[in-house]
Amino acid sequence: MKSCIDALKQRFTVHNLATATDPEALLREVGPEIRGIAGGKVSAALLEKLPKLEIIAVSGVGYDSVDAAAVKARNIRLTNTPGVLTDAVAELTIGMMIALSRRIPQGDRFIRDRKWLDGAFGNWSELKGKTLGILGLGRIGKEIANLAAALKMHVVYHGRTEQKGAPYPYFENVVAMARASDWLVVIAPGNASTTGIISREVLEALGPKGVLVNMARGNMVDQDALVEMLVSKQLGGAALDVFDKEPAVPDALLDLDNVVLSPHQGSRTEETRAAVGDMVVANLTAHFAGKPLISAIF
Ligand code: NAP
Ligand code: 8YV
């Protein structure tokens, strides 16, 4: 984001790999002197080109785009931006759920296509009274739970451990939670322990009236099974902000009425991206001033 890059330029010499016409040439030229990275994808191969790297400040809370094991092995510091994007992501989650249950995008299209003049739109379904299973009752999961409770939904959750004091029923098992849920929101980190956690079995347990909402990472869902079951109506619907090979989205989803699609924009508001950028700058500034990091992963 521009304000983040401007703030970095006031403090550091900045090179922009994302917009470089020849990234490899830029890396050959400046890689040996780079001491910090703001945002972006960091592979083990990239790390090898940056011998003086001291810190990576990720511009998001999920840091699955970084090879964290390789970073740790080199004693490089890693930071993310927890908390500042919680409300924006929770807000979009509920927005997508309402959009799907009340067919808001379709209703808009119905009017624009002048179809209302020929007859009524139809009756859909509401969230009130439905059970919402949350996979990952963390910062964002808890805020989604608050908003869902305000909409008179019944919240249940799954995580690796039960949270003492959480006012919602806990499910030790994802399949059992899916079976008990009308809506299932995925909002846990994408990592080795969660890859494929929404398996065909989980989707079958959610069933023809159930809806999957993925706000976390595409690789956490068996996307082939998801598409197949949405097409055949074995699954009731899906609201998806993330995809396995985004920005590519399976063609089969594009024509489905029981799906709402969103281009990974959970945190993409002006306000929230500015706050994320500020946190990235604050972490880098603290590091190079020899002060404690604001939000260190390690
Ligand atoms: P958080 O506070 O760390 O919460 C993560 C939750 O996931 C915790 O409750 C944790 O509970 C649970 N969890 C971790 N590993 C698990 C596993 N193997 N199985 C089941 N549950 C597991 O993180 P957050 O700030 O809420 O962010 C959550 C994720 O949202 C991020 O990592 C990112 O992938 C995604 N996100 C998406 C967008 C977007 O634009 N769509 C924006 C921001 C974040 P336990 O430790 O008890 O298991
Ligand atoms: C992205 C996110 O980081 O914070 C996360 O984990 O998924 C998002 O905020 C952001 O869209 C930049 O790609």
The pLDDT tens digits of the residues spanning 254-298 come to 999 999 999 999 999 999 999 999 999 999 999 999 999 999 999
Q: State yes or no: is 246 an active-site residue.
A: yes
Q: Is 161 in the pocket of ligand 1 (CB under 6 A)?
A: yes
pTM over 0.95: yes
Please write down the HEC assignment for all residues of the chain. CHHHHHHHHHHCCCCCCCCCCCHHHHHHHHHHHCCEEECCCECHHHHHCCCCCCEEECCCCCCCCECHHHHHHCCCEEECCCCCCHHHHHHHHHHHHHHHHCCHHHHHHHHHCCCHHHCCCCCCCCCCCCEEEEECCCHHHHHHHHHHHHCCCEEEEECCCCCCCCCCCECCCHHHHHHHCCEEEECCCCCCCCCCCECHHHHHHHCCCCEEEECCCHHHECHHHHHHHHHCCCCCEEEECCCCCCCCCCHHHHCCCCEEECCCCCCCCHHHHHHHHHHHHHHHHHHHCCCCCCCECC
pLDDT at 86: 99
Q: b vs e for 272-294, b when ≥16 Cβ sit within 10 Å of the residue's Cβ?
A: bbebbbbbbbbbbbbbeeeeebb
Give the pLDDT band (50/70/90) at residue 107. Answer: very high
Residue 2 has pLDDT above 90, yes or no: no
User: Quick one: which atom of ligand 2 is closest to the CA of 81?
Assistant: 4
d(CA 190, CA 289): 32
Superfamily of structural domain 86-261 = NAD(P)-binding Rossmann-like Domain (3.40.50.720)
Closest CA to ligand 2's atom 6: 62
Residue 116 has pLDDT above 90, yes or no: yes
pLDDT at 79: 98
**For residues 126-132, average pLDDT:** 98
Question: Can you read off the two tokens belonging to residue 248?
Answer: 């590519």
pLDDT at 3: 85
Pocket test for ligand 1, best of 61, 94, 191, 219 (most atoms within 8 A of CB): 61
Q: Is 46 in the pocket of ligand 1 (CB under 6 A)?
A: no
Using only C-alpha atoms, the chain has a radius of gyration, in whole angstroms, of: 21
Q: Is it true that 2-84+269-288 and 86-261 share their CATH fold?
A: yes
Cα 297 to its chain centre, rounded Å, is: 18
Ligand closest to 247 (CA) is 2
Residue 222 has pLDDT above 80, yes or no: yes
Write down the mean pLDDT value for the chain: 97
Q: State yes or no: is 217 an active-site residue.
A: yes
Residues 6+ apart with CB under 8 A from 248: none
Digit-coded pLDDT (tens) for 244-257: 999 999 999 999 99
Pocket test for ligand 1, best of 78, 91, 172, 215 (most atoms within 8 A of CB): 215
Cα 62 to its chain centre, rounded Å, is: 8
3.10.150.10, 3.40.50.720, 3.40.140.10, 3.30.70.890: CATH of 2-84+269-288: 3.40.50.720
pLDDT at 40: 80
pLDDT at 119: 97
**For residues 123-147, average pLDDT:** 98
Residue 184 and residue 131 in contact, taking contact as beta carbons nearer than 8 Å:
no
pLDDT at 1: 73
Name the one residue in this structure whose structure tokens are 């945002």. 39
- Per-domain residue ranges of the chain: 2-84+269-288, 86-261
- Percent share of the chain, pLDDT over 70: 100
**For residues 164-175, average pLDDT:** 98
